Structures are given as structure tokens and as C-alpha cells.
Amino acid sequence: MTDTSDPTAIAVFGATGRMGQALVRVIRAEPRARLAAALVRGGSPSAGRAVPDVEASAREGDAGRYADRLDAAPAALIEFAGPDGFDAALELAVRHGSAFVSGSTGLSRSQLDALDAAAARIPVLWSANFSLGIAVLTELVRDAAAALADWDCEIVEAHHRHKRDAPSGTALALGRAAAEGRGVAFESVAAAASRSGERRDGEIGFAVVRGGDVVGEHSVCLLGAGERIELAHRATDRDIFARGAVRAALWLAGRAPGRYALQDLFAR
């Protein structure tokens, strides 16, 4: 783990995106971290431009301009650039030996395999959702699904109208937690979000809502005869995901190579 006497150098890949900007804000407000690089893709017109908040960029060692290359190895690199930017971000982290924190969803099987391969060389933490509340909700869902194994399980998620993947990565992760709690393979019980009709016994269903500027809402419903339990999380501020990712980067930097999970931050 890194020496806490000096701020941990963290680079942000995709720094001009919505999540990238949130990450920059959170890093600059976190005394244990400094912004090592605000990275954009090669050829981006933002390269060389000043990162907003000039006063914050005056901190010693803080990156004040967007860059399309990484000249020095940061302790950690965070990316939420999506499937299109994921490969370049992971390659940078591996090349520089930096801890890699990824929040991209909708990744392909080959990209997920690349995460596993990278974990042999650097510490890697991928999560579909960096809300600390979602991390706790996931554990609650796993326990509740195990205790109520014969109840129906339905997961409902809502996001802004521009979100591409559906169901969300978080909804799928909650479904996997429910399946793990019941000791069954997720693929054997997951119902397609678009499928109508009766639910089979033990099936985990998904429903998707897209519209407006919803940051993220997830509800897990366990339904029995005459009663039901609803476990829910609603995000109203995108910065919660950035705060969780920065906390993960601070925790991950300097650890041994391997795959880590957000829940590891709370390990007793």
C-alpha cells in the first residue's frame, strides 16, 4: 500500500466525460490524493487545454492541463470511458504498472478476459457501480436471496435516457449476488429483460426504465405468498460514484497484483 504521508498520484482516463469531470473534482478535494494526469484520447481537441478550476490545479504536482499521453507512472489510474476507451486505459495501466480501477459497463467477453490477464501484473478493481451504498446493498441481496430461496426475485433499474447498456451492469451484478446466495449459476436463472410471460420457478427477472436525467435507481424485490421485501438504492448525485472510485484507488494503490472487489474495502 502507498505511503499515506504524501498524496497518492491518481490519473483519470477520459477526463472530459461526465464521470471524468466528477473524478477530477473529487480527487482535487481529497487531501490524500493528487491529480497526476487528466487524460484524453490521442488527437482530442482538449489536449493541452486547461482543466477547469485553475485554483485547484495550483496544488503542488497537480495536473493543470488535459494530456493525451502519460509521461510518468501514477500510483493508480481510474477509467469510466466505456467499452470504446477501456482497452487503451487498461494498456496504459499495465505499461506503467499502475493500479487499475474501472467502472466501465457493457464490456465484451474479451475485455473481461483482458482484466483477468492484467491482474497477473497489476492490482485490478472493476465494479459495475462504485456507490458504497450499492456495495452494501449487494451483500444484503445475497443474504436475503439465500434466506428466501423459494421466493420470486425481480430487479428493476432506471437510468437517464442516454445510457446504452440494458439491463445496467449494476442490475446484473445484483442478480449475480442473488444467484450466488442461492448457490445457482446466474446464467441458468437470469430472464431476459425483454421477455414477457410467466416466470419459471427460481428465475431472476429484470425490468429496465430509461428516461430523463435519472442518475441511477435499483430495486430488488423478493416476492412470496402474501408478502414481499424490497431492497432499494437511489443515487441523486453522480459524484457518489466518483467518491467511491477514488476511495477504491487510494486503497488499491501499491497492493499486490490480483483481482479485487469493492466489497474488499469493507473486509473485516
pLDDT at residue 198, rounded to an integer? 83
Q: What is the pLDDT of residue 253?
A: 97
| Residue 137 structural domain | 132-235
- 207 found inside a domain: yes
**pLDDT, position 107:** 92
Tell me the pairing of strands 216-224 and 152-159: antiparallel
Q: Is residue 1 part of a domain?
A: no
Report residues of the chain scoring pLDDT below 70: 1-4, 54-61, 193-196, 268
Q: Has residue 204 been placed in a domain?
A: yes
Grid cell for residue 232? 432499494
Task: Tell me what pLDDT residue 33 has.
Answer: 95
Residues in the chain: 268
Question: Based on the domain organization, do 159 and 61 belong to the same domain?
Answer: no
As annotated, the active-site residues are 159, 163
Q: For position 143, what pLDDT does the model report?
A: 97
pTM of the predicted model as reported, rounded to 2 decimal places: 0.78
Residue 141 shares a structural domain with residue 195: yes
Which pLDDT score, from 0 to 100, does residue 187 have? 94
Question: Do 211 and 144 belong to one domain?
Answer: yes
Write down the pLDDT at residue 128: 85
pLDDT at 194: 62
Confirm if 38 and 12 have CB atoms less than 8 A apart.
yes
The answer to whether residues 76 and 46 touch, using CB atoms and an 8 Å cutoff, is no
Backbone torsion region of residue 132, taken as left when φ is above 0, otherwise alpha when ψ lies between -120 and 50, otherwise beta: alpha
Do 34 and 99 lie in one domain? The reply is yes
Question: Are both 116 and 148 inside the same structural domain?
Answer: no
Residues 43 and 140 in one domain: no
One domain for residues 55 and 185: no
Give the model's pLDDT for residue 63. Answer: 80
Look up the CATH number of the domain holding residue 193: 3.30.360.10
Same domain, 46 and 118: yes
Q: What does the pLDDT read at residue 1?
A: 53
Same domain for 76 and 20, yes or no, is: yes
Number of domains composing the chain = 2
